Amino acid sequence: MKPIFLTQFLIEEQRAMGKITPDLRLLLEVVTRACKRISIAVGKGALGGVLGDAGTGNIQGEAQKKLDVISNDILLEANEWGGHLAALASEEMDHPHPIPEQYPKGGYLLLFDPLDGSSNIDVNVSVGTIFSVLRKPEGSASSEDDFLQPGTQQVAAGYCVYGPSTTLVLTIGNGVHQFTLDRELGSFVLTQRDMKIPPDTKEFSINMSNERFWEAPVKRYIDECVAGKDGPRGKDFNMRWVASMVADVHRIITRGGVFMYPLDSKTKSQGGKLRLMYEANPMSFIIEQAGGAATTGRERILDIKPNKLHQRVPVIMGSKNEVDLVSSYH
Ligand code: AHG
Ligand code: MN
Ligand code: MN
């Protein structure tokens, strides 16, 4: 079969759906080109001098890795000049990054986690990039508030996993499609159309070391999974935790499962661990488009009206019947 490259896929979607404007297509091409550069930087590892700490911190109070900063710079540089964006925001920047004066401005807002799973960089375990696209509200004079739209307003979302292969998973609101990077050609090739998450699963993904900090509903759910055949679920469960959300969620999109970074007493005062705008929202959009569900336990993630750019939320997402069960315990 003839390979379908990302460009052809996007052009066909643009023609058939009218959903992708030329500017959105440019945006997606530019973001994914930046991901190819990040993939190359990540792949060089110690030979590229890219491992280790940058010696700086971000607004979340986390130490930045060299590759966090490099990936952020690559995404900024790629997206500044095209005329498709009004502004960009990132996990690694305190405030939105305006488009430099010399370039035209466009109608889209881009948010990203340039490198997710930073704790895995130095140990050669999968990391990734997550991004979310919003429309700039009409008539607004560019401000941070422009970004504070619920996840239901996203026009596109995607992520790349830099693993044994580099894969791109993308939604523009009509299903979820997977592309694999052909390293020789330097192009993303469509490898799976319309990914669907099985509604049931026997696999859960949570940092078990936080157990004593969890709330009762989450503890109940996990206890019942761990009890396996002998418990109320009547079947054995398996556990997987990569500690890169992007890789854990990718496994779930590929073969089902439930991923949780729930509210716990350690992170309660800040609202949770994962960030709404560039982690939870894009992943929830993708998960729902693949037939799964995403909730805080108490409300659908995509319905949350954000109150700040770096807001954190509890996250429970994946196979629909499991997510519904955890929600029912809340
Ligand atoms: P980031 O590297 O972008 O800061 O995100 C890391 C997040 C997420 O990817 C992952 O699921 C979680 O942190 C890992 O947390 P633990 O350290 O508790 O395993
Ligand atoms: Mn992250
Ligand atoms: Mn990150």
| Domain of residue 270, CATH code | 3.40.190.80
Residues 6+ apart with CB under 8 A from 283: 130, 157, 159, 245, 249, 294, 315, 317
Whether 174 maps to a domain, the answer reads yes
Domain end: 161, 192, 223, which one?
A: 192
What is the pLDDT, as a whole number, of residue 149? 98
Domain end: 164, 192, 220, which one?
A: 192
Tell if the pTM clears 0.85, that is, is over it. yes
Residues 6+ apart with CB under 8 A from 212: none
CATH number at residue 25: 3.30.540.10
Low-confidence ranges of the chain (pLDDT < 70): 17
* Distance of CA 275 from the midpoint of ligand 3 (Å): 10
* Distance of CA 18 from the midpoint of ligand 3 (Å): 33
What is the pLDDT, as a whole number, of residue 139? 82
Which of the ligands is closest to the CA of residue 244? Answer: 1
Phi/psi at 218 (nearest 5 deg)?
A: -70, -40
In this structure, the answer to whether residues 138 and 277 fall within a common structural domain is: no
In this structure, the answer to whether residues 153 and 227 fall within a common structural domain is: no
In this structure, the answer to whether residues 181 and 243 fall within a common structural domain is: no
Whether 283 maps to a domain, the answer reads yes
Q: Cα–Cα distance between 276 and 270 in angstroms, integer?
A: 12
Whether 197 maps to a domain, the answer reads no
Around ion ligand 2, residues with a beta carbon closer than 5 Å are 113, 116
In this structure, the answer to whether residues 187 and 312 fall within a common structural domain is: no
Q: Which domain holds residue 243?
A: 203-329
What is the pLDDT, as a whole number, of residue 143? 85
Whether 1 maps to a domain, the answer reads no
What is the pLDDT, as a whole number, of residue 142? 75
Q: Cα–Cα distance between 147 and 133 in angstroms, integer?
A: 10
In the structure, which protein residues have their CB atom closer than 6 angstroms to any atom of ligand 1? 62, 91, 113, 116-119, 207, 243-245, 261
Domain end: 131, 159, 192, which one?
A: 192
In this structure, the answer to whether residues 58 and 180 fall within a common structural domain is: yes
The domain tally of the chain equals: 2
The per-residue pLDDT for range 22-51, each reduced to its tens digit, is 999 999 999 999 999 999 999 999 999 889
* Distance of CA 232 from the midpoint of ligand 3 (Å): 37
> What is the residue with the minimal CA distance to atom 14 of ligand 1?
243
Determine the residue of 260, 261, 283 to mutate for testing ligand 1's pocket, defined as the one with the most ligand atoms within 8 A of the Cβ atom.
261
In this structure, the answer to whether residues 234 and 170 fall within a common structural domain is: no
> What is the residue with the minimal CA distance to atom 6 of ligand 1?
117
Determine the residue of 65, 75, 251, 274 to mutate for testing ligand 1's pocket, defined as the one with the most ligand atoms within 8 A of the Cβ atom.
274
> What is the residue with the minimal CA distance to atom 12 of ligand 1?
243
